[in-house]
Amino acid sequence: MNITRTFEQLLSGIDTLETVGDLSCEISSIEYDSRRVKPGALFVALPGAQVDGSVYIEEAAQRGAAAIVSQSPCALGKSFPYAQVSNARFALARLASAFYDHPAEKLCTVGITGTNGKTTVSFMLRDIFKAAARRSGLIGTVRYEIGNRVLPASRTTPEAPDVQSMLFQMDRSGCDSAVMEVSSHALDQCRVDGIRFNVGIFTNLTQDHLDYHGTLEEYFSVKARLFDQVKDTAVINCDDPCGRRLITEERCRSSVISYGFEEGALVRGRNARNDAAGSSMTVESPWGSAEISLQLIGRFNLYNALAAFAAAASVGIPVDVIRTALAEMENIPGRLESVGTKIKRVYVDYAHTDDALRNVLNALREITPGRLVVVFGCGGNRDLGKRRLMGEVASRLADYSIITTDNSRSESPEKIAADISAGFDSERKYEVCLDRTAAIARGVELIGKKDVLLVAGKGHETVQEIGGTIFPFDDREVVREVL
């Protein structure tokens, strides 16, 4: 479907510093990448960490852009349609929402933020909505689901025009709901501005992305912004210290449903159980009590189930439907995904923070009568502080660790491995094998029938980036080949 709006229509909800040119010109697309500009496009020049988008304004005009929005004053003459704004990212989000006629308003939208658990909660909600005969779209780390189409995910939360386009397509394809993972980068860069979520979920907050946010306090403040955009219900993990802050500091403008295992939670889990077959608990809530069983292992997945339970119940889905959907849910790609055999038990998980690694190792320890071995690394050009922390977690909770490469990007793999190994209390508890394939093979070699191997860090990812080169790499496929 071809969409056209006038520049003036799109600017009606935007505060501008200056406008020039003919604002009645027609806009047929919104672009933030000058290479994608075609005749009729509105080009929004975004500020960048390396290069400011304003340097591409002339190129965009040459490619046929009908109008320009930028934080910089107009340099194209007084006849070219142009709007100067104070915040181009904020403007981009509002322009995109207006261009697609505010599609979020036509859907029941659920936004999920937090350091860990976003993907699992999103998949749980997708399955619950399906069981309730609702058609739900999905935007998240693993993939995008739009009607009957499944697309590979380029990032957890795409740029605003892509988000709005997906929501528009969901509505057009008959979806009535949309479940979205909302990253801290997305919140800081205004990618979901213009969306008033029906439900917002906060899972937890631990150290991550400090290379971007600088401090844990700033990271928390950015995450908290989601709840400025929640119009109906905020679902908050009250067992998490930052979740309690959200509640006690009254950061949420909507009604709050707290969840957790501790006393005082509105949706409370009790009698948690975990074994090799899965996990279970009793849930007490304002909508009634239920015995919840999962095929997923680990106490942290019970927390994820509590979040999904609370969110689904808050939008009117019956407890029986929620219970059945959670019980039938199978492995989520790259989330404690079992890829081994009866003789060699191997799990692949996306855990790439110290808290996530701690949760996964604790879950596996409960089902491991023998040795627990982990293969992991840390990403290059990312939060340096978590490397030692992840080493400390592995040193304490695993019997043996193999430190390897995990998207080292432009950093030295040897330097990253040294940073991780600084967290170990004994050299006898780990070895370094920078070739990830060889490291996985070594891990498989070390385990017997009573042991478990965890391959952590990449999860569902299918590429590896080293020295600026991206090449195919899937931990799950490597494990299967080695076995």
Within 13 A of 58's CA, how many CA atoms are on the CB side? 4
Which candidate, 250, 294, 244, 247, places its Cα nearest to that of 272? Answer: 294
Q: Is 248 annotated as a binding residue?
A: no
* 442 token code pair: 């070594």
Within 13 A of 169's CA, how many CA atoms are on the CB side? 18
Helical H segments across 173-293, by residue range: 184-188, 210-213, 216-224, 241-248
Residue type, position 179, single letter? V
Q: Is 157 annotated as a binding residue?
A: yes
Handedness of CA 322, 324, 330, 335 (dihedral sign): positive
Which residue is it, tokens 């081994």?
340
Q: Is 169 annotated as a binding residue?
A: no
Q: Is 120 annotated as a binding residue?
A: yes
Number of C-beta neighbours around residue 236 at 10 A: 30
* 475 token code pair: 């931990």
Residue type, position 68, single letter? I
CB within 8 A of 50, min separation 6: which ones?
Answer: none
Within 13 A of 398's CA, how many CA atoms are on the CB side? 35
Which candidate, 158, 138, 160, 159, places its Cα nearest to that of 147? Answer: 138
Q: Is 404 annotated as a binding residue?
A: no
Q: Is 274 annotated as a binding residue?
A: no
> What Rg value do the Cα atoms of the chain yield, rounded?
24
Burial 73-92 (b: 16+ CB within 10 A, else e): ebebeeebbbbbbeebbbbb
| Residue 347, helix vs strand vs coil | strand
Number of C-beta neighbours around residue 273 at 10 A: 13
Q: Is 164 annotated as a binding residue?
A: no
Q: Is 233 annotated as a binding residue?
A: no
Q: Is 119 annotated as a binding residue?
A: yes
Number of C-beta neighbours around residue 278 at 10 A: 16
Which candidate, 483, 445, 476, places its Cα nearest to that of 458? Answer: 476
Q: Is 382 annotated as a binding residue?
A: no
Distance between CA atoms of residues 448 and 299, nearest Å: 25
**What are the backbone angles phi and psi of residue 202, rounded to the nearest 5°?**
-115, 115
Binding site for ATP, residues?
A: 114-120
Binding site, residues?
A: 34, 114-120, 156-157, 183, 189, 191
